[in-house]
Structure 1
Amino acid sequence: MSGGNRTRVTEFILSGFPGLHPDYFGLVSAVLFSVFLITVMGNVTVFILFITNRCLHKPTYYIILNLTACDLLFSTTTLPKMISKYWFKLGTISFDGCFIQMFLVHYLGSVNSFVLFLMAFDRYLAICHPLRYVNILQFSTVVLLSVTVWIIATFIPLMMVVRAYPLPYCASNIINHCYCDHIGITVLACTDRTLYSFPAFVGAMITLLGPLAFIVFSYCFILIAVSKIANKQNCMKSLSTCSTQLIIISLYYLPRCFVYLASNVGITFSTDIRILIIVLYSLVPPMVNPFIYCLRAKDMRTCLFKHFYRRIQPRNTQVLTISN
């Protein structure tokens, strides 16, 4: 295309699932809306439990609160646009809006990765250095670490946006994805994207593999420490305190590592399958994480049961009074 005929793109179109038949748009929108509703209700419930129960004001739950906020923000950033795509046939997004969404998607993904790093650090101290745990992870320390995570997570996504925004977008404006991400946008640029994609790939690997490396090493030390416990019951109790975080960490890292490894060994997927995998590993963890907290974390499970018991008890008392 000659330079004189180029017209700058002013908006993008999100393709969603390109092969999806229009007859299934209503079903897909209903499923996505249900996922959004469950995600919001579950994560808001975690916030309410934390605010109303002082027994949850511990380092572990302060860290979990960061993950809850991140999950809620990520779902709010991506799902409404995906729902409107299939519910109201509104698949367009403004040029600036797409880059804002791209920044938030990568930023919140980075925050998520660093928070999982903090969760592993919390368990490492609790099991490998129990006597120093209270002194190291004080309230002020957890707040400082949490603020640091939310700040340093901005650098790489901001760099990606700053480098991608000025590129000439003058051809197709159709993004083969359900939301705006770096690859989906920059592939549409009318220029060689190698100089832009490689630094972004390195940044993504640092964000993903850096915390993952620490998580793996920390749990290796945890397993070594637990194996030295003579009492089998105490050994299982120590491992059970890690189970909640291990499930959450696995839900975040395993699908991503699988996708990256598959692409490097030559395994290819159709566009719809690739998008479906990305959507699943992006949206399912924020939906199921609150259930994992409430069912696996003893303190949170106890607070949840007490909360429902207090709501049910007055009703039962009122019924008994009326019957008498």
Structure 2
Amino acid sequence: MNMAFANITVISHTYFYLLGIPGLEDQHIWISIPFFAFYIIALLGNSLLIFIVVTDHSLHEPMYIFLCMLAVADIGLSTTAIPKALAIFWFNSGGITLDGCITQLFFIHGIFIVESGILLAMAFDRYIAICYPLRYTTILNSSVIIKLGITSYMRGAVTIFPITFLVKRLTFCKNNLLPHTYCENIGLAKYACESIRVNIWYGIFVILITVVLDIFLIVASYSVILRAIFRMPSQDARQKALQTCGSHICVILLFYIPGIFTFLVQRFGKQIPPHIHILIANVCMLAPPFMNPIIYGIKTKQIKNSIYNLFFQRQK
């Protein structure tokens, strides 16, 4: 009997099927409408933002350069996940190879960490601008900005790269049907035959040293910033400072709240229906790229003026 079991060869799945949103299959076409609309607006909005910052020399300041970096990351984040989701909704085309799945989860998790790093850099920018205004251009010179941007992108790649090996080593013999619109680390690893304890603990470790640390530093920065703002003698100065920080705070909340909720639901929310978790997970892919250009376009006077000049001044 033991010899018989010893001769059994476990065949690992190398091809998977993303099912979309289980329980809402009959609504896929209707769900795809806002997905497609928000994705197109996100692409156009972020592309316009990048174009304006690059071509308008008056916007070649640290705040807008970081915003341009964020727009690039937003395009990457939404493009990594949403086209595949639309293919599932429209054509029932959920097939994906293991290598393709690992590549997708690498970019999704990596870009999420990149965005978190850029938001931290933007908080640092606001801290210097408000607390050390006379040294602003000296501290945040071109060299520092480039280093902060490269560090944000490299950190995302370096911390997520080991996950690709941790997932690649697994043997997937349980199931090859993934109830989701895109591949994610634990969502894929839980279908492995062997223990995924290393995957789980490394995933938590990465979250702690990146996103959780970033949140802590952002909160610390804004506690100092707000204290400095309310100590300003002029009400106009306080109002102007709050307006410059308001856009960034909205973007921070929009980025972190859905992401934290998804992380907690995935690990502890066993009673929450799967389709709710998947919808919230897709909000993380769509909401920040969709809303960030709108928030900065509405709340930032310089960007509004640049957009006006681009579309209306040239027509005169």
CA distance in 2, matches of 1:263, 1:227: 40
- The 4+ residue runs of structure 1 with deviation greater than 4 A are 259-267
SS of the aligned residue for 2:13 comes to coil
CA distance in 2, matches of 1:3, 1:31: 52
* Structure 1 gap segments, 5+ residues each: 314-324
Amino acid at match of 1:138: N
CA distance in 2, matches of 1:190, 1:3: 17
Aligned partners of 2:265 and 2:272 also within 8 Å: no
Aligned to 1:239: 242
SS of the aligned residue for 2:180 comes to coil
1:292 matched to 2:295? The reply is yes
Report percent identity of matched pairs. Answer: 32
Aligned to 2:13: 9
CA distance in 2, matches of 1:266, 1:27: 27
| CA distances 1:197-222 after superposition (whole Å, capped 9, x unpaired) | 11111212322111111100000000
Q: CA deviation at 1:118?
A: 0.2
| CA distances 1:70-103 after superposition (whole Å, capped 9, x unpaired) | 0001111111110000111101111111000010
Cα 1:292–1:231 change in 2 (3 A) is: same
CA distance in 2, matches of 1:268, 1:262: 9
Amino acid at match of 1:134: T
Q: 1:308 aligns with which of 298, 306, 311?
A: 311
CA distance in 1, matches of 2:140, 2:199: 39
Cα 1:242–1:267 change in 2 (3 A) is: farther
CA distance in 2, matches of 1:73, 1:137: 26
142-151 or 63-72: which moved more? 142-151
Aligned to 1:67: 70
Aligned to 1:248: 251
Aligned to 1:86: 89
SS of the aligned residue for 2:312 comes to helix
Amino acid at match of 2:226: L
Aligned to 2:23: 19
| CA distances 1:243-275 after superposition (whole Å, capped 9, x unpaired) | 110000010112233444567776731100111
Cα 1:267–1:229 change in 2 (3 A) is: farther
CA distance in 1, matches of 2:147, 2:10: 49
CA distance in 2, matches of 1:77, 1:263: 20
Q: CA deviation at 1:176?
A: 2.1
1:269 matched to 2:289? The reply is no
Aligned to 1:281: 284
Aligned to 1:222: 225
The alignment yields a C-alpha RMSD, in angstroms, of 1.8
167-176 or 256-265: which moved more? 256-265
TM-score normalized with structure 2 length:
0.94
Cα 1:236–1:109 change in 2 (3 A) is: same
Amino acid at match of 1:127: I
Q: How does 1:1-324 map to 2 (within 5 A)?
A: 4-22=8-26, 24-260=27-263, 268-313=271-316
* Structure 2 gap segments, 5+ residues each: none
Cα 1:141–1:229 change in 2 (3 A) is: same
SS of the aligned residue for 2:171 comes to coil
TM-score normalized with structure 1 length:
0.91
